[in-house]
Amino acid sequence: MQNLQEDIRNDWTREEISKIYHSPVLDLMYQGATMHRKYHNGQEVQVCTLLSVKTGGCPEDCAYCPQAARYHTDVKAHKMLEAEEILSKAREAKANGSTRFCMGAAWREVRNGRDFDRVVDVVKEVTQMQMEVCCTLGMLTAEQAKKLKDAGLYAYNHNLDTSEDYYADIISTRDYQDRLNTLENVRQAGVSVCSGGIIGMGETDKDRIGLLHTLATLPEHPESVPVNALVPVEGTPLEEQQRVSVWEMVRMIATARILMPKAMVRLSAGRVRMNLEEQALCFMAGANSIFAGDKLLTTPNPDYVDDKKMFQTLQLRPREAFKNETKIEAVQI
Ligand code: SAM
Ligand code: DTB
Ligand code: SF4
């Protein structure tokens, strides 16, 4: 077996990543599966739940997003949910086996004030429920990150979404460096970093490799890397995009797993259009987390019953909360 330290690198070159990404797909999947089993238990998948606590009306122009105010989608904007509504959803998520609860807001950035104070209060309460609490609220200052950390926030999601080169084709209202600055603020506050991207937005393989390169060469790898397949939503500029093939998801997931072995790699948006066999290939390639519940933020997701059946068929089990994500387990297979 390789020296474990050699697997964890922050000096990957684009050429090395390209070589891995373009390997024959079954070999790539095998490598991903092998790395997965070296750092994680191959039978465990973390179950997370998302809740949109503030939906729609967002001033940004992210071309994929149904919550951008400027596009005409079926999403109904609503103001921030009451704390009690959020807490009851968190309890329901826990009862359904989720160990991570992620609250999303359609904000460009966090503004100090009543709504943010409510998020902070809710973070405190959900942390008490022994769930990993995650937020995705847009850009964050160092002070706001610290405030969330003090409230018990476990992780913060902020996706780079695509390569730096392709970014401007997808979003014009902020730039890549803004995203990187927020990730740095999150890291400095001692909050676990969740950052990944979306495939199927018209990007090239080079863009996918560029995204993985940026993530894998951060001073510390994100602890969590969501891989989303675009959910094309009517009314958004990307409404006509073709569905990505499962092999593209497998390539992204396996490459992420090989580059960032300790990370939780999350098979995120897009599962609703994947059958059980396709999802199984993604788990084999190295994915070890899903979002459960019949809604992501605003779009459909498989329901708990279907996922329960999938876990039974694939003999997977939900991973416990707060499992030290960097600890190397003696894995029994
Ligand atoms: N407004 C905050 C932000 O942009 O960081 C937080 C919420 S935003 C909806 C969270 C992430 O959801 C985005 O970064 C993007 O990766 C993902 N997302 C949004 N719409 C999507 C879609 N139609 N398909 C796949 N992923 C999507
Ligand atoms: C992530 O990478 N994917 C999740 C979570 N992080 C916040 C969000 C997916 C959203 C899909 C579109 C929607 O439901 O609105
Ligand atoms: Fe707003 Fe986030 Fe959607 Fe972009 S992805 S439009 S920032 S909610």
What does the pLDDT read at residue 323? 80
Spatial distance between the Cα atoms of 245 and 73, rounded to a whole number of angstroms? 25
Which residue puts its alpha carbon closest to atom 11 of ligand 1?
159
Q: Is the CB of 137 under 6 A from ligand 3?
A: no
Q: Is the CB of 138 under 6 A from ligand 3?
A: yes
Contacts of 278 (CB under 8 A, 6+ apart): 246, 249
Q: How many residues does the chain have?
A: 333
Q: For the residues 61-73, what does the mean pLDDT come to?
A: 97
Percent of the chain at pLDDT > 70 equals 96
Q: For the residues 138-163, what does the mean pLDDT come to?
A: 98
Spatial distance between the Cα atoms of 294 and 83, rounded to a whole number of angstroms? 21
What is this structure's pTM? 0.95
Q: Is the CB of 68 under 6 A from ligand 1?
A: no
Residue 105 alpha carbon to ligand 1 centre in Å: 10
Q: Is the CB of 106 under 6 A from ligand 3?
A: yes
Sign of the CA dihedral 120, 122, 56, 73? positive
Spatial distance between the Cα atoms of 222 and 212, rounded to a whole number of angstroms? 11
Residue-wise pLDDT for 268-301, tens only, equals 999 999 999 999 999 999 999 999 999 999 999 9
Q: Is the CB of 198 under 6 A from ligand 1?
A: yes
Report the candidate in 229, 316, 317, 314 with the shortest Cα–Cα distance to residue 277: 314
Spatial distance between the Cα atoms of 256 and 196, rounded to a whole number of angstroms? 9
SS3 191: coil
What does the pLDDT read at residue 322? 84
> Above 60 in pLDDT, residue 2?
no
> Above 60 in pLDDT, residue 115?
yes
* Atom of ligand 3 minimally distant from the CA of 60: 6
Phi, psi of 196 (to 5 degrees): -155, -145
Residue 39 alpha carbon to ligand 2 centre in Å: 26
Residue 6 alpha carbon to ligand 3 centre in Å: 37
Domains of the chain: 14-312 (3.20.20.70)
SS3 76: coil
> Which residues are known catalytic residues?
58, 62, 65, 102, 134, 194, 266
> Above 50 in pLDDT, residue 332?
no
Question: Which class for 112: exposed (0-12), middle (13-18), buried (19 or more C-beta within 10 A)?
Answer: exposed
Do 80 and 110 meet the contact criterion of CB atoms below 8 Å apart? no
* Atom of ligand 2 minimally distant from the CA of 66: 15
Q: Is the CB of 68 under 6 A from ligand 3?
A: yes
